[in-house]
Chain A
């Protein structure tokens, strides 16, 4: 069975600090997909990134970067020079290719608070 763990339930940083959100997953499938979503205080879910199990290249998008390591089953998310607008709940999610329903299994989320 697939499982996603986000051990950090809440993180508080001061603006301009770097912060890393951890995500550890479990799956028996060899082909799978990992996602990060952002949920700002307004409540909607915003898709940030997808990574497939065959691509371990790290990705950078502006102040955001993602580190995928199959050896440790982790897909961590780093925000560089955090800003108040980054305050949100962040979810990591997993989808297995063999899962007919394409179901997303979500971690419990990490609430990030960036203080001015």
Chain B
């Protein structure tokens, strides 16, 4: 089983719909992250969390919200999806120090029509 699991893997939906992307991990890491990937722009940070009570905005948080339900679970919501949120979304975990690599899930490909 994967250490970092994202669901769904693919989603197509319509403008204005509410969408939730889920991430769960078995690595026991405290730190979790949500990124989006757009062609030519690399990955950009949306939100990050150090523990259940600690949520922080990243570079591009507008239009998104998150919930850290447990150490192992971190979900990303789009309250009212718009087409320019079409992207590949990644969840990542990290043990705690900046020198440690982040470990990524397999990604969720989201298309908003």
A: residues with CB less than 8 A from B are 4, 6, 9, 33, 35, 37, 42-45, 47, 50, 52, 91, 93, 95-97, 99, 101-104, 106-109
Contact = CB atoms under 8 A, between A and B. Distances in A.
Contact of B101 (A4, A9, A50, A108): A50
B58 A103 contact: yes
Interface residues of B, number: 28
Contacts of B48: 101, 103
Contacts of B101: 35, 47, 50
B45 A104 contact: yes
10 shortest interchain CB distances as A-B pairs: A106-B42, A45-B104, A102-B98, A47-B101, A106-B43, A95-B98, A44-B106, A108-B42, A33-B99, A108-B40
B45 A9 contact: no
Q: Is the interface of A mostly helix, strand, loop or mixed?
A: loop
A52 B98 CA distance: 10
Given A43-B88, A108-B42, 9 more contacts: A6-B42, A45-B90, A47-B103, A96-B98, A102-B96, A103-B45, A104-B33, A107-B42, A108-B40
A9 B40 contact: yes
Contacts of A52: 99
Interface of B: 31, 33, 40-45, 48, 56, 58-59, 88, 90, 94, 96-107, 109
B19 to A, nearest CB: 19
B95 to A, nearest CB: 10
B102 A104 contact: yes
Nearest to B42: A106
Contacts of A44: 104-107
B90 to A, nearest CB: 7
Contact of A108 (B41, B45, B100, B109): B41
Nearest to A44: B106
16 contacts: A9-B40, A33-B99, A43-B109, A44-B104, A45-B104, A50-B100, A52-B99, A91-B43, A95-B98, A97-B99, A101-B45, A102-B31, A102-B97, A103-B59, A108-B40, A108-B41
